[in-house]
Amino acid sequence: MLKTDQTIAASPPPGAAADWTIPQKWEAYGASEHATWDKLFARQTAMLPGRVVPAFLEGVALAGLDRPGIPNFEELSERLMKATGWQVLAVPGLVPEDVFFDHLAHRRFVAGSFIRRPDQLDYLQEPDVFHDVFGHVPLLAHPIFADYMQAYGQGGLRALEKGAIDRLARLYWYTVEFGLIRDGDGCKLYGAGIVSSYGESIFALDDPSPNRIGFDLKRVMRTRYRIDDYQQNYFVIDSFDDLLRQTIETDFAPLYREIAEQPDYEPGEIAPGDVVLTPGTQAYARQKAGQ
């Protein structure tokens, strides 16, 4: 889990390794915790077919997530390792950026091991095991997306040196967490923040409020985002190949310098040059803002 928050402690908490990982303690989950996972899993997998990119559902099966209960990270890692060389490791909560990027750069995805309370099925501030594993792991079984995540980690380490973390974090937000992907004339979901949320899985595709805009690297890196509610803009990639090509083959250093001189875009704004696939009414955001 990534959070660009400078209040995170600089050294790992007691009981955690130097790289911030902890044992998942899978045996310690109670029946009600497994039941919460099962409930969330059943609700998402009933709704997602036809909405999510097919590779996601293939990844669910490949990673063995379609068995009851909170996944055991060791078993999960064994399956993922065979597919794409990724592992899943537990961490106590948010980790510092350099630690997070270093794990990604080495094909290690760090996940929260706690699960939300039964009264928090629909909304949660901090990512739990359902978000981290159900949301992120299926696409880590996809070869191209797996490469993208590793490249992102390497790019993160470079961005830290260049003081450009805020810009790079926006790329993560609008792809890995809240990305949409083109499917013929329409779109499908792939972002982990969307697919692990019942409400946003419907909102992001069906609601008339948000703008759906063709993905553009510089544009995305200039766009602020909201962490407190559904997104006002979603960015639509053509394909995972195209996303990887655009990011891996571009040196971000000159982009960071160029963008530093330019103003940011607001979350619901349409920018000059945008390819707007579906213009939004922003009715939802306006209503929430009490206007």
Residue type present at position 162: K
CB of 82 to ligand PHE, least distance (A): 24
Task: Please identify, among the stretches 138-146, 185-193, 201-209, 256-264, the one whose residues bind Fe ion according to the rule CB under 5 A.
Answer: 185-193
> According to CB under 5 A, which one of 53, 63, 180, 192 is a site residue for Fe ion?
192
Strand partners of residue 22: 90
* Footprint (CB under 6 A) of ligand PHE, residues 20-49: none
88 binding Fe ion? (CB under 5 A)? no
Contact 282, 209 (CB under 8 A): yes
Nearer to Fe ion, 52 or 192 (CB): 192
Q: Total number of residues binding Fe ion (CB under 5 A)?
A: 1
**DSSP 8-state assignment for residue 176:** I
State whether the Cα torsion 95-105-194-235 is positive or negative.
positive
CB of 172 to Fe ion, least distance (A): 9
252 binding ligand PHE? (CB under 6 A)? yes
What does the DSSP assignment read for 154-214? Answer: HHHHHHHHTT-HHHHHHHHIIIIIT-EEEETTEEEE--HHHHT-HHHHHHHHH-SSSEEEE
Residue type present at position 187: C
Nearer to ligand PHE, 45 or 247 (CB): 247
**DSSP 8-state assignment for residue 18:** T
> According to CB under 6 A, which one of 8, 22, 35, 248 is a site residue for ligand PHE?
248
Nearer to Fe ion, 175 or 232 (CB): 175
* Footprint (CB under 6 A) of ligand PHE, residues 130-159: 151-152, 155, 158
CB of 101 to ligand PHE, least distance (A): 10
CB of 192 to Fe ion, least distance (A): 5
Contact 86, 108 (CB under 8 A): yes
Determine whether 150 is exposed, middle or buried from the number of CB atoms within 10 Å of its CB (0-12, 13-18, 19+).
Answer: buried
Task: Please identify, among the stretches 115-123, 166-174, 184-192, 274-282, the one whose residues bind Fe ion according to the rule CB under 5 A.
Answer: 184-192
Report d(CA 219, CA 244) in Å as an integer: 17
250 binding ligand PHE? (CB under 6 A)? yes
CA atoms within 13 A on the CB side of 269: 14
CA atoms within 13 A on the CB side of 263: 6
* Coil vs helix vs strand at 233: strand
Q: Of Fe ion, ligand PHE, none, which one sits near residue 192, judging by CB under 5 to 8 A according to partner kind?
A: Fe ion
Residues lying near ligand PHE in the complex (CB under 6 A): 151-152, 155, 158, 171, 247-248, 250-252
Q: Name the residues that contact Fe ion, by CB under 5 A.
A: 192
